[in-house]
Amino acid sequence: MNRRNALKKLGLGSGIVFATPALVSFLQSCNDETNTWQPIFLTLEESIILKAITDVIIPKTNTPSASEVNVPQFIDKYLNEVTELEDQKNIKKAFQKLINIIKSDFNKNINKVSEDQYKLLLDKHMVLKEPQREKNQPMSISNLLNTIKWMTINAYTISEHIGENVLAYDPVPGYQKGCITVNEATGGKAWSL
C-alpha cells in the first residue's frame, strides 16, 4: 500500500473519532423529522432514493430501520455542512447518474420503485473492491453507493436510540472488571460510544 494513501486513511479515521461528538449532535438534532423532513442538500428525488437505499442497507427487524432513526436526514445534513464543495459537486453528479439508471431500469416514477428493485440496483452497481478514487476524478455509482453504505452504518450506530436502547449503554461507567467475557459484561452486546 502506498504510504500517502495509508496516511490519508489514518487521518480520516482519526478525524472521524474527534468529530464524533459533533456528528452525534447532528443526528440528535434530527429527532422526529421522519415524516416532515425537507432535504437541505439533496433534491426531493435524491432524498427519496437515499431513504430507500438506507432502509435496504439497514432494514427494520427487531431493531428500527435506518430511516426510523433519521439516518437519511443525518446524511443530508452532513453532506451539506461537512462535505467539501468539490465533493458535493461530485456527489450531485453521481446522484444524477443514479437517478437516470433507476428511471431507465425500473420506473419513470421514483416513488414507485420497490425495495426488491433497490436490492437489485445495489447488487448490480455496488462493487466491493473498486480502485481508490483520486481527488479530481468523478464519483462513480459504486463510489456513491459505498459512501452511502458507510455513512448509513456509522450514522445508525451513533444514533441516540441505537446507542441507548440497542447497544450496551452505561452513562456513568463504574469499575473495571478484567478478564470477563463479553456475555458476562454486556450480555453479548457491543458497547455504545
Name the pTM for this structure.
Answer: 0.76
Could you report the per-residue pLDDT of 2-39, keeping only the tens digit for each?
555 555 555 555 555 555 555 555 554 454 555 688 99
Confidence of residue 94 (pLDDT cuts 50, 70, 90): very high
Whether the predicted pLDDT of 80 surpasses 50: yes
Look at phi and psi of residue 55 and say left if phi exceeds 0, alpha if psi is from -120 to 50, else beta: alpha
Query: Above 90 in pLDDT, residue 168?
Result: no
Mean pLDDT value across residues 166-175? 78
Residue 155 grid cell: 450514522
Nearest alpha carbon to residue 94 among 40, 57, 153, 143: 143
For residue 101, the model assigns a pLDDT of 94
Q: In this structure, is the dihedral angle defined by the CA atoms of residues 108, 60, 116 and 124, taken in order, positive or negative?
A: positive
The residue-averaged pLDDT of 52-58 equals 97
Identify the bridge partners of residue 191 per DSSP, sorted by sequence position: 168
Taking residues 106-131, report their average pLDDT: 86
Res 137: pLDDT = 78
Structure confidence at residue 1 as a pLDDT band (50, 70, 90):
very low
Q: How many CA atoms are closer than 13 Å to the CA of 15, on its beta-carbon side? A: 8
Sign of the Cα pseudo-torsion (156, 77, 96, 45, in order): positive
H helix runs in the chain, sequence order: 3-28, 44-57, 71-81, 85-105, 115-125, 141-157, 160-161, 182-186
Angle at 178 (CA atoms; ends 175, 184), nearest 5 degrees:
85
